[in-house]
Structure formats: structure tokens, C-alpha cells
Chains A and B, each alone.
Chain A
Amino acid sequence: MKNILKSKGRELLLAAVILIIGIIVTTITPAFFSVINITSILYGNAIMGIMAIGMMMVITTANVDISVGSIFAVCNMICAAFVKATGGTQSVLAIIIAMAVGCCLGLFNGLLVAKLNIPAIVVTLGSMNIMRGAIYYLTDGAWIDGLTGPFVKVASRRILGVQEAVWIWVAVIIITYFILYRTRVGRNVLAVGGNVEAATRVGISKTKTYLFAFGYLGALVGLGGALSAAKLKIAQPSNGIGYEMQLIAAAVIGGTEFSGGVASIAGTVLGVLLLGVIDNALVLAKVPVYWQDLATGIIIVLAVASDALKFIISQNRRRAG
């Protein structure tokens, strides 16, 4: 029991905070703990949740990708254009196309980061601009709306009373768990994030590992872009601006370490949910929507600063002991 508390402390704390917020909100608006509201929170956060898992993977390799918003927009638009052209009959193909495009863009980032030996933030800053500019340029800023056909039901269709997007999120969580904890490539992600030099010494390829992490993130962002097109029935080139912030926040709040080597899937899911629940609570409490950014900011700073303080205290204790 004590071990669980120690190793899963972060996740338990997040779950508790989410629960407390829920209880507080319920006293104001009893609607919070209703099945409808809970499924709608899950549904509302599923797309972010899927992409946050990908971001977690990249951060675990001690990198970061701030071009995710642009990748999202590109995949979103391409998927919508394909759906528009086919009348929405080829749902699976539309999703596969979006994921493939996202994956390629991610691989491009990964290749540059691995080969240029430059902080990922600077590299992805460049690709972020290129992709965003390109999608605007090619579409001239025009929206693609009026999506129809079976495709638009992909995200919202209910299975066992829960929307399909949520099921896809669950599937991504399970698959990622499997990759990270059961496959060689997943373990290599952790190893490279923990100690690149040692990883190279035992014959793990840094380039391949980076390519996998960035490609995986890209594919999941592509999936998110496709689901968003299905959910909203509309795609626009300005979509996804600022997503990098929220995704990094979710992962970091969840206990994934920015310096690499430590991942938490449950923490990332809870991080997304915490941010989502706060949004939802603010909406239910009729607080204007722009308080959400402030809340997000406070939570990130608190999470990061408390980690740093904990580290400093443990260092001091070690020195004293």
C-alpha cells in the first residue's frame, strides 16, 4: 500500500483533486456528477487526450514538439478535403490518410531533431511556421464545412452509451501502454530519455527512437485532426493554435518529466481530465470562458514549482543526511 502511494502518488493526487473539484461543483450545480455530464466531459476531452499521449511519448525522449498545432491543422484540413470529395463514405480511409500525413510530418521533425543536434523546440518552431503558413497558403484561409456522410458519425456515434471518440481514446491508451511497457521500441524510448549516452553504448539507435516518438505523436495528432473534423463537421486552417501548450501542460502535470526518461500514461490522462474538468466546472459555474487559460497557467506553474521545490528539499536532506 505504501509503495503504491509512493510510486503512484502523483496520479492519486490528481484523481483526488479532480474528485474534489467535482464535489465542489456538484454543490453548486448538481448536474456535474450526472452520467450525461461525465460522458460529455470524456467526449469533450477525448481528442486532446489522444494527442496528449503522443506528446508524452516525445517528452519522454527528452524532446518536445511545439508544431503539434500546425500538424493538427494540416491533418484536419486534408481529412476534411478528402471527406468532402468522397461524400464521407470512406471513413476509415479518411482517418488513415490523416494519420499517415501526421506521421510523415512527425517523422520530418524527428529526423531534424536527431540529425541537427539542436534543441527540439527550435527545430519544431521552424516546422510549426512552415506548416501553418503552408496550410493557410494552400487553402487561402478558407474553411471546409458541410461535411456529411457516415464519416461525421465516427466520433459521436455511441457504443454502450459512450461516444466512439472516447473508445478510440481508450484504445490509444491501451495500445500506448502496451508499446511503452511491453515492446522493445517503447523501452528504448524510456532508455534514450533516461541516458542517451548509455543507450548508444548498448546499441540503441537515438535516431530511430526519436523517429518513432515524433512519428507516433504525429500519427495521433493526425487521428485527432480526423476526429475533430468528424465531430465538428467543419475544418479550418486556424485550428489547433495553442494546442502545444495544453498538450505539454497535460503531460507535465501528469508527472512526465521534461528532462526525459519518466512517462506516466495514467498521469497524462488525468492531466487532460483535470484541465477539462476545470473548464467544465467553470462553464457550469457560469464563469466566463477566458478564466480557463488562467486556471491552466496556475496549475502548470504550481505543478512545476512544487516538483522543483521537492527536488531542492530532497537534495538538502541528502546533503544533511
Chain B
Amino acid sequence: MDTNILEVKKVNKTYSGIQVLHDVEFDLKRGETHAMVGENGAGKSTLIKILAGVVTPDDGSEIYWDGKLISRMTPEKAIELGLAVIYQDISMFPNLTIAENICKGKHTEFFVNFKKMKETAQKALDFMGVDLNLNQKLGEISVGKQQLVAIARAITFEAQVIVMDEPTAALSSSEVKMLYRIIDSLKEQGVSIIYISHKLEEVFTVADRITVLRDGHKIHTGDASGFTNESLINMMVGRELRFIPMHNEEGDSDEVLFEVKDLVNPPMVNGVSFQVRRNEVLGITGLVGAGRSETAQTVFGLMKQQSGEVYIHGQEVHIKDTNDAIGKGICYLPEDRRTQGLFAQQNMTWNMTAVTLHKQLSGKLLDSRKELATTEKYIKSIDIRPALPGINARNLSGGNAQKVLFGRWMNADPKVLIVDEPTAGVDVGAKAEIHKILRNMAKEGVAVVLISSDLSEVLAVSDRILVMREGKIVHEVKTDEATQEAILEKGLMG
């Protein structure tokens, strides 16, 4: 039997006017492991959510299961058909036992038969060759083991297709080997696997075929043996430079504005040191989970550091909390706009002035005219649209919401500005404008640190690039001598 268990055609998806998937096609044979690769924002997770019925694609998209057209995919339908997704954020029940987590929803009798449940769960674990105490609460075991429980769950439900989204992110190296073995046994049973990973060595180890996505387009699908490291990377990042390079025009300076020495905050930050010089944008790149955000958040006082020193303009500073950090001139534009950046219920002005309320005072009271003036200043200077200070933040597009946050931090007169994935979920035009903002701030004497997974962005904007891996800086290059492939090799394959 060589039919496709799953096939999608002409899948399009538009989020509030921005198209994130363009006519994507994808097919999955029985018993194959099909890896899906691409940079952040390439559209992998959106496609997965469409397959799982969590996100509805645009009209005209077609999903076929076992050759039959599925008119409307829902989460229930997906489970019924035999598609199991193991999400990165493991969504299970920390308060219930492992056995119950594996079998939840499997046995639908009114009376729960724990004996049968444990037998079922044990069978799945035996098949995987994993040894776990079935009576233990899920919340008490490591995230890596929880991931294995999620796989056991998929096996129990006799899933035909299992989607694994970055399955090794939390696994130890022995657990990764175990995972490979499990994937092999699943394939023997005729189960198909969609494997999503940033780590190319893993992809080459497990995949039969590879599909590359970039900017919402399917670039190529082919047998894994037909790819080399280089060809795969080229397809992932593309040959063409997508952004106009904007580098330091003032000339190199030796003046160090910001320095971090031996910053330690295990497990994600294991001795990070770097300097930012005048007129410079420092890029930090690496994989998700390399410890970039954690480094920034430790410097910003959101997490307690175990050891390490931080210097601003040569003076050592000790940061107690975020408020203290902002007072001393360290600002951090967080990675997730929706959950960390925006007060979604509040208007643009309130969002803009949240950290600079002391500047909006007349006497002891907040002055709405000053607040309005501040907001309008940034509406004009960084072109925020619509130009309505009273608009609710949740009605702003991604790019404009991000600009509001830039306004928030610019108004705080930062000495150090760390921006974390500033252009994620932002349209191309706004991306270029955000790059310009970063460059201008560097010119004005702010130490700018750009954390980004988007290599072409890092290459276009930063003057020096650090590559992080497993909580350490593993590579440093000046941009002119950097090539994307070199960085990718250091960061992704090591």
C-alpha cells in the first residue's frame, strides 16, 4: 500500500490581512517519517494547527485523509481519524497520574477501571521500552518524561499520524536516543510521523523525507538522502538578502557601553559574557532554547542571577528587579508581545506611558495632555498607524503594536535596549522600519542588543553577531565576515 495517509493541497491562511501560508502542499505516506523544517515564522506551526483542526484554513484549502476529502477539520475529528499532536507546551493534567494521562478519553465506560487503564498504559510504555511509575502524578516528573508520556498517549489512541513539534527540546541525550528507537518501532507498525525540529542533525537521523517551508511557502519536498547540510540550509534561509543592510556608518569605537561578565543562571544561562560598543548593534542568535531570552531576562532583573557582573558605561550595577533595571537604564522588549508586552485591554496611550509615568506628571498628578503629547510624538516619529492614541491595543496590527512598545522603551531613555525577536509576526514593511529604529537608537548612543532567530535580520542590522548554544556563547563574528551558513553551522550543528 503506497497511498498517502494525509495530504493537503492549496492551503492558505490569512491572519488579519497578513498571509502566513501560500498554497502550501504537503503529503505524508504510510509509515514514513517526514520532517518539516524552516526558520521561525516559516509557517510550520500554523500548518500543524490546521492539520489538528485547531486553526481553520482559508476557503479553498483541501485536506485529504486516506484519500478522502475532509470538509471541516475539528480537534475532535482529528482525534477520531487518528491524528495526534504532541505540542511543545505539553498540554496534559499535572494533577493526575501518568496512567490516567495516557488513557484520558480512551476508555469511555461510566465506571473507571484502573486496572484496565494501567494495563493499557503499561502496554504503550512497554512498546516504547520506557519505564515509568504509572501511579506517579504527571506534575512530579521531568518535562522530558512528560514528553514521553505524551507519546505513549498517542500510541494508546492508535494514532495513524503523530506530529512531534520540537520533541527533543526538553530531552536528555539518552532520552533522545530512546525517542529515535520509539520512532523506528512506530514506523514498523505503519504509523506516520511528522517531525518538526530546528536541529538538522536530528532531521537527518530520523527523516525519510524532508519538506522545507520558508515565509509561508513550500520550497521543496524530497528524500532526505537527496539533501546535504548546505542545500538544506540554503533552502531554509534563502539565497537572497531580504533586508537592506543597515550597518554602523559612524565607524568602530572602542568605548564599551554595556558589558556582561560570566552571567550564570542555570540551567539556561551558563556563563555568558559580551560587550556592546558605541554605535553598535549587537546581534545574538541561536536556537529556541539556547538561553538567549533567559540571558536577557536575567540582565533585566526578571530572573535572579546566580553569579555574574553587569557594567553600564563602565560602572558596575546590581539589578534587584525590573523596576530597578529600568531605573538604571536597562530596557527589555520581550519576545511575546501578546503575553509579555501589551496591555491588550488598554489603549495605546496607556501602553505607551506604562514605564514612564513619572514623565507624565504635572505636579503630583498624571497629565493627560502630556501623555497624549508623548504618544503623538512617537506616533509621528516612528509612524504608528492608525494614529489614534485612544485605540485599544488589541485592535492594533502586529507591527504597529510592536512600534507602540518601541515607543514605550524609547521614552524611558534607555542606556541599554535589549530587543527579543522584535519582528516576529510583523509584516515586511514594518520589519524594515523596526530595523531603522534600532539603527537610529544605536547612533544616538544606546547599547542595542538584538536577539533574533531570523538570520537575515541579524545579518542586515547587527555589526557583530554572537551565536548561543546551550546557555553559552559558542561563536562570535563581525558581520562582514559572517555568512549565514557559517553561523547556522555553529548554532545548529556545532
Contact = CB atoms under 8 A, between A and B. Distances in A.
A198 B91 contact: yes
A261 B100 contact: no
Given A191-B96, A194-B96, A184 B112 contact: yes
Nearest to A260: B95
A319 B94 contact: no
Nearest to A178: B111
A183 B105 contact: no
Interface residues of A, number: 22
B95 A262 contact: yes
> Quick one: which of A181, A197, A201 has the most chain B CB within 10 A?
A201
Chain B interface, DSSP helix/strand/loop, else mixed: loop
Counting contact residues on chain B (CB < 8 A from A), the size range is 10 to 19
Interface string B282-323: 000000000000000000000010000000000000000000
A157 interface: no
Chain A interface, DSSP helix/strand/loop, else mixed: helix
B372 to A, nearest CB: 33
Contacts of B341: none
Contacts of A182: 111-112
B304 A191 contact: no
Contact of A195 (B75, B92, B110): B92
A214 to B, nearest CB: 20
A77 interface: no
Contacts of A185: 110
Interface string A193-230: 11101110111100000000000000000000000000
Contact of B96 (A184, A190, A197, A203): A190
A228 B112 CA distance: 34
B217 interface: no
Interface in B71-100: 75-76, 79, 91-96, 100
A203 B76 contact: yes
Interface string A149-185: 0000000000000000000000000000000011111
B481 interface: no
A195 B111 contact: no
A184 B92 CA distance: 17
A194 B111 contact: no
A203 B76 CA distance: 7
A198 B100 contact: no
25 contacts: A181-B112, A183-B110, A183-B111, A184-B107, A184-B108, A184-B109, A184-B110, A184-B112, A185-B110, A187-B100, A190-B95, A190-B96, A191-B93, A193-B95, A194-B93, A194-B96, A195-B92, A195-B94, A201-B75, A201-B91, A202-B79, A203-B79, A203-B105, A204-B105, A261-B95
Given A183-B111, A198-B92, A202-B79, 17 more contacts: A183-B112, A184-B110, A184-B112, A185-B110, A187-B104, A191-B96, A194-B95, A194-B96, A195-B91, A195-B95, A203-B76, A203-B79, A204-B104, A204-B105, A261-B94, A261-B95, A319-B304
Interface of B: 75-76, 79, 91-96, 100, 104-105, 107-112, 304
By Cβ-Cβ distance, the 9 closest A-B pairs, closest first, are: A194-B95, A261-B95, A202-B105, A198-B91, A194-B93, A191-B93, A202-B104, A195-B93, A203-B105
